[in-house]
């Protein structure tokens, strides 16, 4: 299990920020097939289960919760009625959506603040609109009088809040129009820098899911973009990284060549676009024409000339995309980066090195893997694994491995790897009973929804 080295993190650049956020856990309730989910995060956390048990729901729910915080009032209204996220089990139908994050926030003076922020809302129904029905913020530190700093008064739009760390008294405030208190107070708290910085960090939590299992489109020639299009372009990202963050660029290229030693050089080139093409933007304001396009090429020890990146294998292109995303996560101060099925893009012999490199490149950004492969388990501390167990009812019971030594010993005695041993157990109808001797108490109960 990875232990947070705060001294190492503090020495790293804050990149213009006044605080660094280290996520410790998320809590989710009332989202699709999820109820009472607590996901504790280490440097690397792997969510492992058989196919079709909705592993992706966990990371999508976290992104959903953060998107609600950052969304405008109109977006929040749309989220209240976003039916694909509604609880759909008989066991959780009608439950409020609840999101909570627990984090340590470190300021430039090396003060550490533990922050626990929670909100919940009612989903829209046929007869009632959705609305925020709970919100709270708790802060503790050896330097302040801790406790609740924001509390929503039940059944009203009134909140009570502390205006600074020094204040022990709470003041009332009326907040309407689907705003969260942290959205509102970040604009009015001006007499306490640390308090304001914590509110700013909460309003700017960054969580990214890298799920480009097919990376080919990410290397295309992109003279045209559309507003709101989230498709990334790797050559453009590499050019910007090389120009603005040369140290990180160097780390990325070195890491890529370490995984693929036959590659001797990666070259990124810029190609200007004529102004006549830019004039076409008058046709449709939703169309954006780039001033430049970019291409990537590689020099290989077995080739007589460089080749375009598009001629590399699909797996190699996805590895480079994932490495690039990890470096950008560090550059952009992402709190968490989730990677779906990282083992699908690389030869098993390289997987251990690949995981170590991703951990190094991402800095203090937490990594979350989702996988249905027994092989990836071999290279992750068992205590960093969240295991999805099928049950007789079709639900999934997610547990943490809390007896790794016994698991390793029993797998060895069976002549099996840890991954194969666990997945063999998962394949039985009584998997929970067979594997319970290695696992923590149940934390998550959810149902198979046919989603990968």
Residue 126 has φ and ψ, to the nearest 5°, of -65, -25
| Cα–Cα dist 66/273, whole Å | 37
Could you give the count of Cα atoms lying within 13 Å of 159 in the half-sphere of its Cβ?
A: 26
Mark residue 394 as left, alpha or beta (left: phi above 0; alpha: psi -120 to 50; beta: remaining): left
Q: Do the Cβ atoms of 200 and 185 come closer than 8 Å? A: no
DSSP secondary structure code for residue 358 in this structure: H
Q: Is the dihedral of CA 422, 423, 428, 431 positive or negative?
A: positive
Residue 273: band (very low, low, confident or very high) from pLDDT cuts 50, 70, 90 = confident
Window from 154-163, 204-213, 223-232, 357-366 with minimum mean pLDDT: 223-232
| pLDDT, mean over the chain | 83
Q: Class of 209-332+334-371 per CATH?
A: alpha beta
Mean pLDDT to the nearest integer, 236-256: 93
Distance of CA 167 to the CA centre of its chain: 34
Q: What is the dihedral of CA 188, 190, 194, 199, to 10 degrees?
A: 10
Task: Give the pLDDT band (50/70/90) at residue 98.
Answer: very high
Residue 67 CA to residue 387 CA, distance in Å, equals 26
151 CB-side CA count, 13 A: 12
Burial of 37 from C-beta contacts in 10 A (0-12 / 13-18 / 19+): buried
Using CA atoms, how far apart are residues 132 and 151, in angstroms rounded to an integer? 12
Identify the pLDDT of residue 442. 54
- Rounded to 5°, the CA angle 322-326-329 comes to 135
For the beta carbon of residue 50, count every other beta carbon within 10 angstroms: 16
**Model confidence, pTM:** 0.86
Determine the straight-line distance between the first and last CA of the chain, rounded to whole angstroms.
27
Residue 132 and residue 150 in contact, taking contact as beta carbons nearer than 8 Å: no
- Where does the pLDDT of residue 284 fall: very low under 50, low under 70, confident under 90, or very high at 90 and above? low
What are the tokens at 244?
């603005």
Is pLDDT at 397 greater than 60 in this prediction? yes
Whether 205 and 99 have beta carbons less than 8 Å apart is answered as no
**Which pLDDT score, from 0 to 100, does residue 446 have?**
40
Residues paired with residue 27 on neighbouring β-strands, in sequence order? 38, 100
Residue 259 structure tokens: 């995984």
Domain ranges of the chain: 6-206, 209-332+334-371
């Amino acid at each position: 299990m990875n232990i947070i080295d705060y001294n190492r993190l503090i020495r790293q650049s804050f990149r213009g920020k006044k605080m660094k956020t280290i996520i410790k856990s998320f809590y989710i309730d009332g989202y699709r097939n999820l109820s009472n989910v607590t996901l504790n995060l280490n440097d690397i956390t792997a969510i492992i289960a058989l196919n079709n048990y909705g592993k992706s729901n966990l990371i999508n729910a976290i992104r959903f919760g953060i998107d609600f915080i950052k969304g405008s009032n109109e977006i929040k209204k749309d989220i209240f009625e976003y039916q694909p996220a509604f609880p759909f089990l008989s066991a959780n139908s009608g439950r409020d959506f609840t999101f909570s994050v627990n984090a340590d926030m470190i300021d430039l003076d090396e003060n550490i603040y533990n922050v626990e922020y929670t909100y919940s809302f009612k989903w829209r129904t046929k007869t009632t609109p959705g609305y925020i029905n709970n919100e709270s913020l708790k802060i503790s530190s050896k330097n302040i009088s801790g406790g609740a700093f924001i509390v929503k008064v039940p059944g009203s739009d009134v909140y009570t809040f502390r205006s600074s760390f020094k204040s022990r008294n709470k003041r009332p405030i009326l907040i309407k129009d689907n705003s969260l208190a942290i959205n509102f107070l970040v604009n009015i708290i001006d007499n306490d820098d640390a308090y304001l910085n914590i509110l700013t960090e909460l309003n700017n939590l960054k969580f990214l899911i890298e799920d480009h299992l097919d990376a080919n489109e990410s290397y295309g020639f992109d003279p045209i973009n559309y507003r709101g299009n989230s498709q990334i372009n790797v050559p453009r990202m590499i050019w910007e990284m090389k120009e603005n963050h040369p140290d990180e660029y160097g780390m990325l290229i070195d890491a890529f060549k370490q995984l693929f030693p036959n590659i001797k050089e990666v070259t990124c080139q810029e190609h200007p676009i004529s102004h006549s093409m830019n004039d076409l933007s008058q046709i449709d304001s939703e169309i954006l024409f780039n001033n430049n396009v970019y291409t990537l090429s590689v020099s290989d020890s077995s080739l007589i000339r460089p080749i375009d990146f598009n001629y590399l294998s699909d797996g190699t292109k996805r590895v480079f995309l994932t490495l690039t995303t990890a470096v950008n996560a560090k550059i952009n101060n992402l709190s968490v980066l989730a990677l779906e099925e990282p083992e699908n893009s690389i030869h098993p012999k390289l997987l251990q090195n690949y995981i170590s490199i991703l951990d190094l490149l991402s800095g203090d950004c937490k990594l979350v893997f989702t996988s249905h492969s027994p092989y990836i388990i071999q290279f992750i501390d068992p205590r960093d694994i969240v295991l999805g167990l099928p049950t007789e009812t079709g639900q999934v019971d997610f547990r943490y491995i809390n007896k790794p030594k016994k698991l390793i010993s029993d797998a060895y005695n069976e002549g099996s790897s840890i991954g194969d041993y666990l997945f063999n157990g998962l394949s039985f109808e009584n998997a929970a009973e067979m594997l319970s001797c290695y696992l923590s108490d149940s934390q998550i109960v959810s149902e198979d929804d046919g989603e990968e």
